[in-house]
Amino acid sequence: MAKETKDYSKYFDFSDAKIISQDEYGKKIRIRGREINIISEPNHRQEKQRGKESINVLYEDAVPDELKHLGEGKKYIVYTYGCQMNEHDTETIKGLLEQMGYSSTEDRKEADLILLNTCAIRENAEDKVFGELGHLKHLKTEKPDMLLGVCGCMSQEEGVVNRILQKHGFVDMIFGTHNIHRLPQLIKESLFSKEMVVEVWSKEGDIIENLPKKREGMRAWVNIMYGCDKFCTYCIVPFTRGKERSRRPEDVIAEVRELARQGFKEITLLGQNVNAYGKDFTDIHYGFGDLMDDVNKIDIPRIRFTTSHPRDFDDRLIEVLAKRGNLVEHIHLPVQSGNSAVLKKMSRKYTREQYLELVAKIKKAIPDVVLTTDIIVGFPGETDEQFEDTLSLVREVGFDSAYTFIYSPREGTPAAVMEDNVPMEVKKRRLQRLNDTISEYSRGGNEKLRGQIVEVLVEGESKNNDKVLAGRTRTNKLVHFTGSPELVGQFVHVKITDVMTWYIKGDLVTEPMAVESYR
Ligand code: 5AD
Ligand code: SF4
């Protein structure tokens, strides 16, 4: 609960905001005629704290019986921005809404509820959301009874919430990443009160098991942990997602088994830093390697994970991954920079040499491994020479692909107050050179597959040509080939005939064949 009085003037002129009432359950304010019920609001200082209190695991029914029909006859849309964690949160949001009786629509004009599940990782992600809010304002004017909500990482930021209160008073609901399970109650509150309802918890709460999830397709995400304690100096995630909390292994394993039973073909285990899995258990000694060893025994064709941190990537994990089976030969291993001084300023807690040693160990254990990464260019103070170190590391490792970003200052993070002395033109040139280098290696990695037969999980028809099917190899490479739509959802063998930078083409192998990589 928000007990302290906040200095809103830090962000905006709130001189026209009136406090109507304030008690231990929050406060009601009025801004330009719009009443706002602030049950709780984000606070960066509290988000930064890492308390010792233990996390409870609750096994509850999130939608009480009296709310199970609230959405009957009504339609929803959820727009999702950002990472796979957000995509997966959206599956929970949709699961909750459908348990309340809502059904989905693609047409925003017929929606009774629109939610924006937002991302705060870089400024351009936030700009997109504010742009969308601008468009939705018109719809809200035409259809005032439609509920409009903002959730996800942006809601965890003080500045964002205040900007919405001040400039986007037509929003009906703001909630954060820690209280998604409260969505049914918040919808009820804003439907009946007609006030804007704000409930954002600064501190992570309990782990809530058994939340409904609306999954589609043949691939499923499974959370193994929440939050991040790494506090890389550029990153907002430890603030927006709270402290590291691992789900109990028996809950994760039961979920993976159930998904296997339902016929899913591929599982991606999710966490902001999966290698820290289990470090918060006080009663058992069980880490990410142990979990991977256990899911390796489950009868599901492919298991992936994301995202890993090089610092906690231990030998036990490498030993387990080398067992292969359903554990695929692809590791996403964000490096961020190839220069040790920049890594230190980023507080990544490893050096260039340590990263390269880890890569060598992984390649020794899994020679055909495909490595991908994340890289930031133009971190405050990055010199030309330091950037050259990043390029040389990319060449040395030979990443098959990379997500590359220009540094974006995030309010409240340590890097935001470092002198950002690299001109934007220089940052853009660095990004271009980096992307050119990555493309070269990506094509090179694909070239190695020419003439080989690979196992492909067929995901659907190609976006541009419905005669062409698209699927992925175990190493997550996109493959296009001609085939019948009946193959969607199945594993096939494809002989690679042509190689592009970002995908490969091949011919379906119709005869049963023994393929080395097939398990
Ligand atoms: N600016 C640019 N890129 C960032 N990332 C995280 N924070 C920032 C930031 N402030 C990138 C990192 C991370 C990926 C998910 O996003 O590369 O691994
Ligand atoms: Fe952000 Fe670093 Fe945590 Fe990744 S490990 S989420 S980059 S703080």
Co-location of 245 and 393 in the same domain: yes
In ligand 2, the atom with minimum distance to the C-alpha of 307 is 4
Q: Which residues line ligand 2 (CB under 6 A)?
A: 228, 230-232, 235, 237-238, 272-273, 309
- Are 249 and 190 within one domain? no
Q: How far is the CA of 151 from the centre of ligand 2 (A)?
A: 20
Is there a domain that residue 47 lies in? yes
Q: Tell me the CATH number at 95.
A: 3.40.50.2300
Same domain? For 357 and 400 the reply is yes
Are 313 and 292 in contact, with CB atoms under 8 Å apart?
Answer: no
CA 132 to the chain's CA centroid: 20
Residues of the chain with pLDDT under 70: 1-17, 511-519
Would you state the pLDDT for residue 13? 54
Phi, psi of 486 (to 5 degrees): -60, -15
Confirm whether 1 is domain-assigned.
Answer: no
**Cβ-proximal residues to 468 (8 Å cutoff; 6+ apart), any chain:** 461, 462, 480, 481, 482
Same-domain pairing of 394 and 493: no
Within 10 A of 250 (CB to CB), how many other CB atoms are there?
Answer: 9
Ligand nearest to the backbone CA of 242: 2
Pocket test for ligand 1, best of 119, 273, 332, 405 (most atoms within 8 A of CB): 405
C-alpha 236 to ligand 1 mean position (Å) = 9
Ligand that lies nearest to the alpha carbon of residue 334, given by its number in the listed order:
1
Residues 244, 50 contacting (CB under 8 angstroms): no
Residue 206 lies in a domain: no
Last residue of a domain, one of 199, 229, 263: 199
**Separation of CA 52 and ligand 2 centre (Å):** 20
Cα–Cα distance, 279 to 158 (Å, whole number) = 30
83 annotated as a binding-site residue? yes
Nearest ligand 1 atom to alpha carbon 406: 2
Query: Which ligand has the nearest atom to the CA of 234?
Result: 1
- pTM summary value: 0.92
**Buried b / exposed e along 30-68 (16+ C-beta atoms within 10 A):** ebeeeebbbbbbbbbeebeeeeeeebeeeeeebbeeebe
Ligand 1 atom with the shortest distance to the CA of 375? 17
- Give how far Cα 83 sits from Cα of 31, 90, 126, Å: 33, 11, 13
Contacts of 400 (CB under 8 A, 6+ apart): 370, 371, 372, 441, 442, 445, 446, 475, 477
Tokens 């042509």 locate to 498
- Which residues does residue 59 pair with via DSSP β-bridges, in sequence order? 209
CA torsion sign, 193 to 196 to 202 to 208?
Answer: positive
Asked whether residue 159 is domain-assigned, the answer is yes
CB 445, CB 402: distance < 8 Å: no
Give a yes or no: residue 517 inside a domain: no
Please check whether residues 443 and 478 belong to one and the same domain.
no
Kindly state whether residues 261 and 168 are assigned to the same domain. no
Q: What is the pLDDT of residue 48?
A: 83
Domain boundary (168, 199, 230) is at 199
Q: 104 φ, ψ to 5°?
A: -85, 155
Spatial CB neighbours of 169, under 8 Å, sequence gap ≥ 6: 31, 32, 34, 196
**Which sign, positive or negative, has the C-alpha torsion 461, 463, 467, 468?**
negative
pLDDT at 5: 40
CA 404 to centroid of ligand 1, rounded, Å: 9
What is the DSSP annotation of 152-202?
A: EGGGG-HHHHHHHHHH-TT--EEE-SS-GGGHHHHHHHHHHH-SEEEE--S
Single-letter residue type at 32: R
Handedness of CA 125, 99, 185, 75 (dihedral sign): positive
For residue 230, the CA-to-ligand 2 centroid distance in Å is 6
Residue closest via CA to ligand 1's atom 14 equals 374
Atom of ligand 2 nearest to the CA of 228: 3
Quote the domain boundaries for residue 47. 8-199
Euclidean distance between CA atoms 313 and 273, whole angstroms: 10
- Residue 481: give its domain's CATH number: 2.40.50.140
Are residues 36 and 135 located together in one domain of the fold?
Answer: yes
How many residues appear in the chain? 519
Instruction: Return the best residue to mutate from 50, 86, 122, 232 for the ligand 2 pocket (most ligand atoms within 8 A of CB).
Output: 232
What residues are in contact with ligand 1 under a 6 Å CB criterion?
121-122, 234-235, 334, 336, 374, 376, 405, 407-408, 410
| Residue 135 C-alpha from the chain's centroid | 25
Distance CA 42, CA 424 (A): 31
Closest ligand 2 atom to the C-alpha of 348?
A: 2
Residue 41 has what pLDDT? 85
The pLDDT value recorded for residue 8 is 46
Phi-psi region of 379 (alpha: psi -120 to 50; beta: other; left: phi over 0): beta
**Which atom belonging to ligand 1 lies closest to the Cα atom of 334?**
18
- Dmax over CA atoms of the chain, in Å, equals 75
CA 235 to ligand 2 centroid distance, Å: 6
Which residue of 87, 234, 399 sits with most ligand 1 atoms within 8 Å of its CB, as the best mutation to test the pocket?
234
Domain boundary among 397, 418, 447: 447
275 and 373 fall within a common domain = yes
In a domain, 204, yes or no: no
In the reported structure, the alpha carbon of residue 286 is separated from the centroid of ligand 2 by a whole-number distance in angstroms of 22
Question: Which one-letter amino acid corresponds to residue 163?
Answer: R
The CATH number linked to 383 is 3.80.30.20
d(CA 220, CA 222) in angstroms, rounded, equals 7
Residue located nearest, by CA, to atom 13 of ligand 1: 374
The atom of ligand 1 lying closest to the CA of 235 is 7
Alpha carbon of 227 to ligand 1 centroid (Å): 15
Strand partners, 78: 115
Ligand 1 centroid vs 419 CA: distance in angstroms? Answer: 18
Buried b (16+ CB within 10 A) or exposed e, 148-167: bbbbbbbbbbbbbbbbbbbe
Atom of ligand 1 nearest to the CA of 307: 18
Instruction: Give buried/exposed letters for 207-223 (b at 16+ CB in 10 A, else e).
Output: bbeebbbbbeebbbbbb
How far apart CA 465 and CA 8 sit, in angstroms, is: 53
153 carries a ligand binding annotation? yes
Q: List the one residue out of 117, 65, 126, 56 whose CA is nearest residue 92.
A: 117
Closest among 120, 113, 69 to 94, alpha carbons compared: 113
In whole angstroms, give the CA distance from residue 466 to residue 48.
49
CB proximity list for 215: less than 8 A, separation 6 or greater: 91, 221, 259, 264
Q: Which ligand approaches the C-alpha of residue 412 most closely? A: 1
Residue 255 sits in the same domain as residue 177: no
pLDDT at 15: 60
Task: Give the C-alpha separation, 171 to 229, whole Å.
Answer: 32
| Among the bound ligands, the one closest to the CA of 409 | 1
Are residue 25 and residue 113 in the same domain, yes or no?
Answer: yes
Which protein residue has the closest C-alpha to ligand 2 atom 2? 232
Asked if residue 267 belongs to a domain, the reply is yes
The pLDDT of residue 4 is 40
- 225 and 320 part of one domain: yes
Structural domain includes residue 208 = no
Other CB atoms within a 10 A radius of the CB of residue 123 amount to 13
Residue 517 has a pLDDT of 44
The count of domains in the chain is 3
Ligand 1 centroid distance, CA of 295 (Å): 29
Q: For residues 81 and 191, state if they share a domain.
A: yes
